[in-house]
Amino acid sequence: MLNTVWTLAVADGYVICLSLHAPGEGANTVLTGVLKSCSRQKLGAAVSLLTSWILGLPLAYWLAFRHHMGPMGLWLALTITAFLQTVLAGLIIAR
Residues 73 and 67: beta-carbon distance below 8 Å:
yes
How many other CB atoms are found less than 10 A from the CB of residue 71?
Answer: 12
Which pTM does this prediction carry? Answer: 0.84
Per-residue pLDDT, 53? 94
Residue 70's alpha-carbon distances to 4, 8, 48, 75, in angstroms, are: 19, 16, 24, 9
Q: Please tell me whether residue 69 adopts helix, strand or coil conformation.
A: coil
User: How does pLDDT run across 55-95, given as a tens digit for each residue?
Assistant: 999 999 999 999 999 888 999 999 999 999 999 999 999 98
